[in-house]
Amino acid sequence: MRKDFKFERLNFVTAGMPLRTGKGSYKEAFNIIREMNLDGMELEFVHGVRMSPENKAVAENNANEHGMIITAHAPFYINLNSKEEEKIEASVQRIIETAATAFSVGGYSITFHAAFYMGKDKEIVYNQVKSQIEKINDTLHRDNIDIWIRPETTGKSTQWGDIDEIVRLSKEFDNVLPCIDFSHIHARTTGEYNTYDEFCEILEKLGTIGNYAIENFHGHLAGIDYGAKGEKKHLNLENSDMNYKDLLRAMKSFGVKGSLVCESPNIEDDALLLKQYYMNLS
């Protein structure tokens, strides 16, 4: 699977290995995902991009032989707007390593939390992020790594990455699209963007990039706890106010294709809840 893969529908993916895997292997994790009739896995490179040759082979086999959808989340410590140049360079390298690894196992898309504002003007930070994305793209193009790279919509106002900033950035590059985390948008706005019409507004903004943004979707969903400063922590869907039913209705209405990654604490159960509800929509 590559960036130009044509999706037939919206797929439902776990954020990392299912909890049922316990201390088991990638092989067991993918077996559980297939047994549950889920559609794939987001590789979670939390502290670094490390994946053994054996695990790479398992992921690639599941993508190529079983049609599993593979995405990846870059390590969490990334800040393309750091005050320290060496931290910016390390962040760029982590994104490149994530893209290379995901591409090598048949992934079509990676995502990352791009930056913090660090008290700077939004336009200055936008241009800083853009300049670092250009560096990342230079390396990916040189190495023939053909994969979507996606800044994720963030859950706190201190983080760069509201929907408008990321849509704007996506229009400037041919391999950049948003990773829309609906829970983050809901938390960042302290409870807004949780109705059918508001979800449609988000998808309309996505569509302004081009129809390919709707047909190559990569997004996140979980229950979410939030306060005045935005995101606090993820929750299971049924223990939160996240209106996932209207969201799925909106996604169905827009004909969204690609992958929705479930980041709830009960990863695979909520992923299955989402898939079953979605597949029963008329």
Instruction: Map out the domains of the chain with their CATH numbers.
Output: 10-279 (3.20.20.150)
Per residue in 134-148, pLDDT tens?
Answer: 999 999 999 999 999
Nearest-5° Cα angle at 210, 275 to 194 = 45
Q: What is the pLDDT of residue 6?
A: 86
Mean of the per-residue pLDDT values of the chain: 96
pTM, two decimals, is: 0.96
Residue type, 52: S
Q: What is the pLDDT of residue 2?
A: 55
Mean pLDDT, residues 223-242 taken together:
97
Predicted confidence band of residue 22 (pLDDT cuts 50, 70, 90): very high
Q: How far apart are CA 43 and CA 70, in angstroms?
A: 7
Mean pLDDT, residues 247-271 taken together:
98
Mean pLDDT, residues 225-254 taken together:
97
Q: How far apart are CA 183 and CA 169, in angstroms?
A: 21
Predicted confidence band of residue 3 (pLDDT cuts 50, 70, 90): low
Mean pLDDT, residues 180-201 taken together:
98
Mean pLDDT, residues 156-174 taken together:
97
Q: What is the pLDDT of residue 278?
A: 98
Q: How far apart are CA 250 and CA 252, in angstroms?
A: 5
Least reliable range by pLDDT among 43-52, 94-103, 150-159, 260-269: 43-52
